[in-house]
Structure 1
Amino acid sequence: MIKVGIVGGAGYTAGELLRILLTHPNAEITCIQSTSNAGNPISAVHTDLLGDTDLTFVPDLDTSIVDVIFLCMGHGKSVEFLTENEIPSHIKIIDLSHDYRLEREGNDFVYGLPELNMEAIKSANKIANPGCFATAIQLALLPLAAAKKLSEVHVNAVTGSTGAGQKPTSTSHFSWRNNNVSVYKAFSHQHLGEIKQSLKQLQNGFNEPVNFIPVRGNFARGIMATAYVDCDMTQEEAVALYKEYYKNHPFVTVSDINPHLKQVVNTNKGILFVEKHDNKLLVISMIDNLVKGASGQAVHNMNLMFGLEEKTGLRLKSVAF
């Protein structure tokens, strides 16, 4: 059994990790740290787990009882935690924040998008889990970059309110978000850096704009991204390109019909739809922002790091209605 520790156990991503790992056949949760909830039952915060676990939050991580640590804190907190705490080298680390996603001197984390870096993930000791928008958008663009056919990109993507985290804000509480949509961080979203980094990894020298308009949706979870680029392929050629790229990636499906968001919510799936319009190629990409866009992808990375079959513990079904 893989002994799992979670640091920052009270938020949405930690709650999703617990939901997945409690039924994972090869994982045992041994330590869930939360400074603000130390001593409280897990189910007092993650109420969906009432009756599923008797675990309680602890104030400090005990590294003697873990094989892997998931860092589920706010951006900037992972760097702070790893600076202040010496983690034994045999313990694997999966960070779900933004702190280690971008390449820089001294950063020894592997960027954990399995559909891009699977082999590197298998031998890694530290993983920087991708962002939710970044995951959906990269899935839409990786095959084009791999084929050296990527040009200027235009993306519009809408996300559920859980993407803003558990702490209520003026744009995430129900009375504001319900029956409402709005644009934020147009052309300047923090996930653009990791998206461009990955595209350059596949298409050396790619330096075209990625024009990204993020939208706050009036629903709780899920991301629908629509991307379009100039493209000289036929629709049949483009669909074949995408199906070939993802043929060995079990969580990504290239659909022959236009999908809808309920097909991915509560699952680790990514569903793509490719359609040609004159000289434009439209790619629709859908994921659950908390699962494939965060905690499910983190468990997928854990499976790869420990040599397990990729879908272990992640055969999750969507809610159709």
Structure 2
Amino acid sequence: MKKLEIGIIGGAGYTAGELIRLLINHPKTNLNFVFSTSNAGNKIHKIHQDLIGSTDLEFTSNINSEVDVLFLCLGHGNSTAFLENNTFSDHTKIIDLSNDFRLVANKNFEGKEFVYGLPELNKDAIKQANYIANPGCFATALQLAILPLAANGLLTNDVHINAVTGATGAGTSLSATTHFTWRDNNFSHYKAFNHQHLGEINQTVKQLQSSFKSEINFMPNRGDFSRGIFATTYTKYEGSIDDAKALYKAYYKDAAFTIVSDESIFLKQVVNTNKCIISLEKHGNKLLITSTIDNLLKGASGAAVQNMNLMFGFEETEGLELKANYF
């Protein structure tokens, strides 16, 4: 079988680096070009130094409009501008990793209809799609924590979420809160109750449970580690813990990467994998749902490759069977 020709727009960030790593090792893809005007002519491994010995490809300022798949790894708002100024063949499928097309109000763009790319929610639609809006990292971890409840009409009260992300969630650009001396031995919250991923989360909940009228209260935190998201979510739930576990395991029985654990879970189980691991506890009338993902893989580049696999009829796990950095 002829390999898919792949193009990446915006190649210098953490997300692009992980995407390049996955695609050069994927058995059914050939990385045709990585577009970066600021790095054109430089070897990719000069920027993504973990890829030395893995590829001699250079960044380019030229675009091949005939590629089979185009991944957009651009800053939020920049994907729209890029597509306004560049055209691709009718057969080119586009997977956007920004937030430009995630919400229903923005999913249609110049005749292109973007499907929200959360496989545990929209797998059948993804298989038929030509254009995918990849979910946000926090949005993935938090939606996977509550999808089974919403799908069964069981979100009847406020949802409370506390989640912490690693430093890579802030991207490669330096800011006051990304310097090592600030992050090291430090912890803080940010965008309390108004994080941009709440739009995606509320949209999904209402897609599954149109009657949902309660609040989703989200407290995002910055952690003193490089990568991963660890989220704790709780809401009122009248069933037993056995009922909850049965509900979650039934919902995710065909999910390639979402696992419901009977044990307590921790971050290192998922770092460097495309997994989401979930655990459940019952405390009085509250259900505590813990979910954890790698923000750069299941929260970004791994999910993008998972979506590509579904779009082309490959095994969903193709190129994504990665071992956790457990020790």
TM beyond 0.5: yes
Q: Distance in 1 between matches of 2:41 and 2:65?
A: 18
Structure 1 residue runs of 5 or longer lacking an equivalent are: none
Q: Distance in 2 between matches of 1:18 and 1:239?
A: 37
Which residue is equivalent to 1:8? 10
Give the 3-state SS of the residue equivalent to 2:105 in structure 1: coil
**Residue-by-residue CA offset, 1:33-54 (whole Å, 9 max, x unaligned):** 0010000000000000001001
Q: Distance in 2 between matches of 1:206 and 1:268?
A: 30
Corresponding pairs, count: 320
How far residue 87 of structure 1 moved from its aligned partner, in angstroms, is 2.0
What code does the residue aligned with 2:122 have?
A: N
Which residue is equivalent to 1:232? 238
Q: Distance in 2 between matches of 1:139 and 1:179?
A: 29
Give the 3-state SS of the residue equivalent to 2:104 in structure 1: coil
Which residue is equivalent to 1:255? 261
Question: Which one of 47, 50, 70 corresponds to residue 49 of structure 2?
Answer: 47
How far residue 88 of structure 1 moved from its aligned partner, in angstroms, is 1.9
Q: Distance in 2 between matches of 1:14 and 1:148?
A: 37
Q: Distance in 1 between matches of 2:269 and 2:219?
A: 23
**C-alpha contact 2:17 2:48 (8 A) present in aligned 1:** yes
How far residue 169 of structure 1 moved from its aligned partner, in angstroms, is 1.0
Which residue is equivalent to 1:191? 197
How far residue 104 of structure 1 moved from its aligned partner, in angstroms, is 1.4
**Residue-by-residue CA offset, 1:61-118 (whole Å, 9 max, x unaligned):** 2113x10000001001000000111122210000000100001163510000000000
Which residue is equivalent to 2:92? 91
Q: Give percent identity, aligned residues only.
A: 60
What code does the residue aligned with 2:62 have?
A: D
What code does the residue aligned with 2:30 have?
A: E
1:282 aligns with 2:284: no
Q: Distance in 2 between matches of 1:171 and 1:269?
A: 28
TM-score w.r.t. length of structure 1? 0.99
The correspondence of residues 131-150 of structure 1 with structure 2, limited to 5 A, is: 131-150=136-155
What code does the residue aligned with 2:35 have?
A: Q
TM-score w.r.t. length of structure 2? 0.97
Q: Distance in 1 between matches of 2:215 and 2:95?
A: 30
How far residue 206 of structure 1 moved from its aligned partner, in angstroms, is 1.5
How far residue 60 of structure 1 moved from its aligned partner, in angstroms, is 2.6
The correspondence of residues 95-134 of structure 1 with structure 2, limited to 5 A, is: 95-104=96-105, 106-107=108-109, 108-134=113-139
Which residue is equivalent to 2:32? 30
Q: Distance in 2 between matches of 1:117 and 1:308?
A: 17
The correspondence of residues 173-184 of structure 1 with structure 2, limited to 5 A, is: 173-184=179-190
Q: Distance in 2 between matches of 1:196 and 1:265?
A: 27
What code does the residue aligned with 1:262 have?
A: K
What code does the residue aligned with 2:145 have?
A: A
Give the 3-state SS of the residue equivalent to 1:104 in structure 2: helix
Q: How large is the RMSD of aligned CA atoms in angstroms? A: 0.8
What code does the residue aligned with 2:97 have?
A: L
Structure 2 residue runs of 5 or longer lacking an equivalent are: none
**C-alpha contact 2:65 2:87 (8 A) present in aligned 1:** no
Q: Distance in 1 between matches of 2:232 and 2:63?
A: 41
What code does the residue aligned with 2:32 have?
A: T
Which residue is equivalent to 2:72? 71
Q: Distance in 2 between matches of 1:198 and 1:169?
A: 32
Q: Distance in 2 between matches of 1:289 and 1:221?
A: 6
Runs of 4 or more consecutive aligned structure 1 residues displaced over 6 Å after TM superposition: none
What code does the residue aligned with 1:68 have?
A: V
What code does the residue aligned with 2:299 have?
A: G
Q: Distance in 2 between matches of 1:135 and 1:184?
A: 18
**Residue-by-residue CA offset, 1:255-311 (whole Å, 9 max, x unaligned):** 000011000000000000011000000000000000000000000000000110100
**C-alpha contact 2:150 2:205 (8 A) present in aligned 1:** yes
